[in-house]
Amino acid sequence: MTRYAVTLAALAALCASPALAADGKALFAAKGCVACHGEAGAKPIAGSPNIAGQNAVYLLRQMTEIADGTRSSAPVKVMKPVIDKTTPDERKVLAEWLATQRPAEAQPGDKAKAEQGAELFDENGCIGCHGADGLKPLADYPFLAGQRKDYLMVQIKAIRDEIRSTRRTRMMTANVRKFSEAQVEQVAEFLSQTKRK
């Protein structure tokens, strides 16, 4: 075996080692997650969610649903090839590591729209699963506070229009079915401006 072949074999072994598999930060970099979600999941590009500090159980469920095709609407289709290159154990490690990262800062925005959005959030029962101000979700639901406005708008519309239609999101459809475009924006303004604690 040549020295080159030995080096390649050693690198392959290192990449497959339990130490690397157990390191969420290394996996996040190695799988290319930073390209869309930014450093430690807190500085995403437009259209991608903040995932730093997100609920680990929720993150793992989303990765699993993308992997098995349960969640396949347009915004996440680009993630399918990336997720397909991860093992269930790696997804768990990624989810647990991301949950420990510092959440993104709340975004500035239109205060008047945010106030209207806060009323809509309360009036339409969002608090039941996502908690007051999107800050205290049930065990396997996402934090919504501090999420990107553009991402929230796309997801609320996808749930409203039954484009994103998994068992969990179907439960939410009734809450947002009557939202106008303006109301979707108001709720997204409110949540994106709400600071994670």
* Domain that includes residue 47, residue range: 23-99
What is the amino acid identity at position 141? Y
Give the end of a domain, one of 41, 67, 99. Answer: 99
- Residue at 84 is within a domain: yes
State which of 64, 99, 134 marks the end of a domain.
Answer: 99
CATH number of the domain enclosing 46: 1.10.760.10
Residue 158 CB neighbours (<10 A) = 17
Residue 146 exposed, middle or buried by CB count within 10 Å (0-12, 13-18, 19+): buried
CA separation for the pair 4, 182 (Å, rounded):
61
- On whether both 54 and 33 belong to a single domain, the answer is yes
pLDDT score for 22: 62
Is 3 among the domain residues? no
Report yes or no on 5 lying in a domain: no
Q: What pTM value is reported for the model? A: 0.86
Is residue 2 included in any domain, yes or no? no
Domain check: are 116 and 182 in the same one?
A: yes
Number of domains in the chain: 2
The answer to the question of residue 12 being in a domain is: no
pLDDT digits (tens, 9 = 90+) for 16-37: 444 444 699 999 999 999 999 9
- Asked whether residue 165 falls in the same domain as residue 116, the answer is yes
State whether 146 and 120 are in the same domain. Answer: yes
pLDDT one-digit tens code per residue, 94-123: 999 999 999 999 999 999 999 999 999 999
Instruction: For residue 176, give both structure tokens.
Output: 């947002």
Domain co-membership, 86 together with 45 = yes
E strands in the chain: none
